[in-house]
Amino acid sequence: MSISTQADVVARITRLEGTVSIMRSGFAEWRAAKPSTPLEVGDQVYTREESFAEIRYSIGTVLRMDEKTKITIAESSEQTIKTRNGLGDVWVNMKKLLTKGKEFDVTTATAVAAIRGTVFHMANQADSTASVSVYNGKVAVGPTDELKKKIEQAKPAAHVDEPVEVPGPEEIPGPFEVPLEQWRDIVAGQKISIRVDGKFAQEKFDMKVAAEEKFVKKNLEMDKELMKEK
């Protein structure tokens, strides 16, 4: 296994419960993770059943993983750090952002959540349906490049000899009826769900009711302690 240098380290595992595994970039086997384990681009982290992990990034972002969740440190540049949520639930808190002007993206197979200075919960289900629930601030959610191609391929061929109607202001008649083709801003108290076919539903949710869910409740309590840190 390669030895990480400070310049290569994008994040560290700062807390874990249960069985948490890590697969280094370029390797094909999972190994037990430990507190303070450094993470580089390409590294994967997986929480087993009844397990939990907290990751802190160099820019100050905190990402927490529920049980049976898998993430990959996908990219790190001067502008953005990208993490791929391959499966499961993650909680992201950017209220302690240390590097101004730097963005943090979380992606699934269908959606990209680009955030700066906010708190949200992203769930990625086994059928690739992704949902983002915002608890503080605002999150910009858009389709991945892969999903954009799928949406374009599904569109009927246009007839150049017929006039094309220019759409007016976008209205969503009901859940999962319109493909997610453009970025949408989701604010606190709102949730957006995107299916593998690209169709999405945006709705309000009761944050007080959601706060009773085990994973959400745990993160809200940990966020209170996080904000007390200097």
pLDDT tens, per residue, the chain with 230 residues:
444 555 589 999 999 999 999 999 999 999 999 999 999 999 999 999 999 999 999 888 999 999 999 999 999 988 889 999 999 999 999 877 666 667 889 999 899 999 877 899 999 988 889 999 999 999 999 999 888 888 888 777 655 555 555 444 444 446 777 888 889 999 999 999 999 888 999 999 999 999 999 999 999 999 999 888 86
**Phi and psi based region of residue 20 (left: phi greater than 0; alpha: psi -120 to 50; beta: remaining):** beta
**CA separation for the pair 10, 85 (Å, rounded):** 16
The whole-number pLDDT of residue 169 equals 44
The whole-number pLDDT of residue 1 equals 46
**CA separation for the pair 57, 73 (Å, rounded):** 10
The whole-number pLDDT of residue 139 equals 93
Rg, C-alpha atoms of the chain: 19
**CA separation for the pair 164, 72 (Å, rounded):** 42
**Which tokens is 19 given?**
């069985």
The whole-number pLDDT of residue 6 equals 57
How far is C-alpha 41 from the chain's CA centre? 16
The CATH class that applies to domain 11-153+172-228 reads mainly beta
**CA separation for the pair 85, 106 (Å, rounded):** 7
**Exposure class string for 195-207: b at 16+ Cβ within 10 A, else e:** beebbbbbeeeeb
The whole-number pLDDT of residue 181 equals 87
The whole-number pLDDT of residue 103 equals 83
Q: Give long-range contacts, CB 8 A cutoff, 24+ apart: 103-108.
A: 103/79, 104/57, 104/59, 104/61, 104/80, 105/80, 105/81, 106/63, 106/82, 107/74, 107/82, 107/83, 107/144, 108/84, 108/144
The whole-number pLDDT of residue 167 equals 47
The whole-number pLDDT of residue 173 equals 47
The whole-number pLDDT of residue 146 equals 87
Q: Helices in the chain by DSSP H: which ranges?
A: 145-154, 207-210, 214-228
**CA separation for the pair 127, 36 (Å, rounded):** 33
The whole-number pLDDT of residue 15 equals 96
